[in-house]
Amino acid sequence: MKTVSLFSGAGGLDIGAIKAGANIIWANDIMKDACATYKKNIGDHIVCGDLNEHLEELSELQNVDLVIGGPPCQGFSVAGKMNPEDPRSQMIWAYQEVVSIVNPRAFILENVKALGALSKWEGIRNQLLDGFRKLGYSTSYIVLNATDFDVPQVRERVFVVGFKGDINMTPNLHEMMQPYKRKAKTVRDTLSFLDKAGFGNNISTCNAKITLAATPVLRKSPYAGMLFNGLGRPLKIDGYSATLPASMGGNKTPIVDERELYNKEQPWIVRYHESITADPTKAKFELAPQFLRRLTVEEAAAIQTFPNGYQFQGSQCSKYTQIGNAVPCNLGYAVCQMVADVLNKKVKITPTIGKQTTLKL
What is the CA 37 to chain-centroid distance, rounded? 17
Per the model's pLDDT, the better-predicted residue between 360 and 269 turns out to be: 269
pLDDT tens per residue, range 144-193 = 999 999 999 999 999 999 999 988 899 999 999 999 999 999 999 999 99
> Could you give the CA distance from residue 102 to residue 72 in angstroms, rounded to a whole number?
20
Q: Please tell me the pTM assigned to this model.
A: 0.93
Q: Residue 68: which of 35, 98, 32, 37 has the closest Cα?
A: 98
Reference 180, options 303, 66, 338, 306; nearest CA is 338
Highest mean pLDDT out of 59-63, 68-72, 106-110? 106-110
Residue 83, pLDDT score: 56
Count of CA atoms in the C-beta half-sphere (13 A) of 214? 2
pLDDT at residue 121 greater than cutoff 80? no
Question: Which residues, 6+ apart, have CB-to-CB distance to 320 below 8 Å?
Answer: 206, 246, 248, 249, 253, 297, 300
Distance CA(216)–CA(225), nearest Å, equals 8
pLDDT score, position 78: 47
Q: What does pLDDT average to over the chain?
A: 92
CA–CA separation, 208 and 247 (whole Å):
13
Model confidence at 115, in pLDDT bands (50, 70, 90)? Answer: confident
Could you count the other beta carbons within 10 Å of the beta carbon of residue 349?
Answer: 18
Of 333, 311, 325, 301, nearest to 190 (Cα)? 301
What is d(CA 271, CA 288) in angstroms, rounded to the nearest whole number?
A: 13
End-to-end distance of the chain based on CA atoms, in angstroms? Answer: 26
The rounded percent of the chain whose pLDDT value lies above 90 is 85
DSSP state of 89: T
CB 171 within 8 A of CB 349: yes
Q: pLDDT band for 358, please (50, 70, 90 cuts).
A: low
Give the tens place of pLDDT for each residue, 190-231.
999 999 999 999 999 999 999 999 999 999 999 998 999 998
The rounded distance, in Å, linking the Cα atoms of 222 and 291 is 17
Contact in structure between 6 and 111 (CB atoms under 8 Å): no
278 in Cβ contact with 218 (< 8 Å): no
Domains with residue ranges and CATH for the chain:
2-184+327-343 (3.40.50.150), 187-322 (no CATH)
Question: Do 15 and 304 meet the contact criterion of CB atoms below 8 Å apart?
Answer: no
Query: Which residue would you say has higher pLDDT here, 178 or 117?
Result: 178
Reported confidence tier of residue 119, pLDDT bands at 50, 70, 90 = confident
Q: Which helix (H) or strand (E) holds 339?
A: helix 329-343
73 is annotated as an active-site residue:
yes
Spot the catalytic one: 73, 206, 329, 336.
73
pLDDT reading at 236 higher than 70 = yes
Would you state the torsion angle of the CA atoms of residues 113, 30, 304, 45, taken in this order, to the nearest 10 degrees? 120
Higher pLDDT, 73 or 30: 30
pLDDT digits (tens, 9 = 90+) for 281-317: 999 999 999 999 999 999 999 999 999 999 999 999 9
What lies within 8 Å, CB to CB, of 22 at 6+ separation is 1, 3, 14, 66, 68, 336, 340
